Structure 1
C-alpha cells in the first residue's frame, strides 16, 4: 500500500527537499502540503525546479484533512512544532525536523532555547531520530525528533569512538563548516550575497551553539559520565554541505577500525580507506555521509573528517529514512539517489 504523506512547512528548504525525494519514492504519495505564508500558491510558483511534478496546492495547516494521512513531516521553524503537533490526530505518525523535541530533559531545552517546553507529554514519547543508532525505537515510535544537521555530522564521527573507548573523552574538538541553507529560507541581512560571499566566519563561538545540547545529551549517555566537547561552527559561502573536522587523542588505526567496524553494515555511512578524507562535493544532494581518518603528525592524535549534505542526510533524507522505518518499509527506499557532481 502507498502511504499518504503530508508535509507541513513545505515552502522551506527542507520541505522542498522532502518533495524531491518523495517524488520518486515507490511507497509514498504526497497528499497535502502546507505553507502558511504561501497558502493558495502552487509549489511550482514557490520552487520552479519542482514544476514537473503534479503536487497539491499549498494550504494552511488548518485546511488539511488528516483523515487518511498516514504520516506527516513537520518542517516548521523551531518553537513552532510543539503547538502544531499537539493539535494533530493521535493516530498520525509524525517526523519533526525542528529542534522542538530533540532534547529529552525539559530543563536542557529551556537552557538552550530560552523558553519552557510547551508540550511535555509529547516530549516523553519522542524518539531521537539519528537512524543508525535508534532504529529499533524509531520503528515503534509515533513521534520522531530529527537531529540537528551539525549534531548528526559530529555524532557520526564520534559515537563509535566513544562506544569503543579509543579516544580521550576530555580532549575532543569539533571544527565544523556549514553551508548557508542550514540557516533556513527567511530573509536575514547576514545571509545576503554581498554579506556572505568571498568570506567565512565562525558563529556561536565559545560554547553557545544550540546543537551542543544534543552533543552533551548523546555523548554523555554513551559514556555514562559527563562529556563536553569543544565545538566551533563556521558559515561558508556554499549552498549545501557540512564538513566536520574532529580532533581527538587516540591512535589513528584504532579510530579508523572503530568507525569501520560500527558502520560496516550501514548503507549510508561510508568509511573511506585509512588516510583518505572526504569532501562535501562527493555527497551533495544525497543521503550519504562520508567519513575519513588521518593520523596527525603528533603521535597519539588523529583527525576524523565527516561530510554530509545538511538538507539531505542532515535533515530531509534522514527524516525519510526514519519514516520508512515507522511505516514498516525497507529503510533505504527512495533514498538511493547518487550524489550530484560536479
Structure 2
C-alpha cells in the first residue's frame, strides 16, 4: 500500500502534463525570440556601422554622388553588400567586381579609371597590372601608330581622365580619336593595349585609359634602334673579341655591324656589351641571316635566362 502511494505521488494528470509542456514551450519560445531579436539588432548595428564607414570613406576619398553610386553598383557583385566599404579599401576586391561590371557593360572604362585614381589603386609589387592607370610616371612606352610607325615616348602623368605621354616629333601628325597601340615593360611583364588619342597639346599626348591590358607573348618582341658598342666572337672559342656596334636590339635578338664580314649565317656568336653603368652583359646568339652585302648580321638570342631577358627589356624600353 505504501509503495503504491509512493508511486502515485509521481504520477501527474494529463492536465498537469499539458501545463508543464506549455511552460516549457513558452520558455523555449522566449529564448528563441530573444535570440532572433538580438540577432536582428546585431545585424542592424553592423549594417549601421558599415554604412557610416562607407559614407566616411566616400567623403575622405572625395568621391562624387555619381561615383558613390558606381561603388554601390559594384557592391551588387559581392556576396554581401553590407561590407561595400571594402571596395574603397581592398584593391583586389575592387578589381574583381569592376571586371565583372565591365564584362556586363554596366561600367565603362572611363568610370573605372577615374575611380582607380581617386581610390589610389596603383600597381602592387610583383602583381600583374589591370589598368593603364597603374603605369608609373616616367615609364618609357612604345607607341605604334595606325599607319605602322613605331615611336618611343615617356609617361609624364596619370590622372583619372588620361594617360599623358610625351609626343615625339616622329609621331606627328596625330589627332583626337586616332588609334594607338601602347606597349610598355613592367616588373611583372610586358603589356600592350589599344586606345585612342583624347587630345594633342604641344609636345604632350593625352590617351584614353584602358582596362584591357594584355601581356605580350614571349615570342613577340619590340625592336629598338640603338647605337651601342659591343664585342663579338665565335661562341665556344677563346678567340679575341672583336669590336662592333648594335644597329637595333630587342629582348629576342639584335642586328649588329659585321666586322670585316667575317661572320656568316648559321654561326653561333657570343656578344658582350655594357648598357649605361651596369655590368657587362653576355649573350649567345645565332646569325639567322646577313644583309647589306654581308655588312650587317641579324642575330637570334638563344637560351636566355628570364633575368637577363628582363634586363634586355629594360634597355629596349628605356627612354
Mark yes or no: TM-score above 0.5.
Answer: no
With normalisation by structure 1, the TM-score equals 0.23
In proportion to residue count, which structure has more strand? Answer: 2
With normalisation by structure 2, the TM-score equals 0.24
- Structure with the bigger RCO (C-alpha within 8 Å, sep 6+) is 1
Structure showing greater radius of gyration is 2
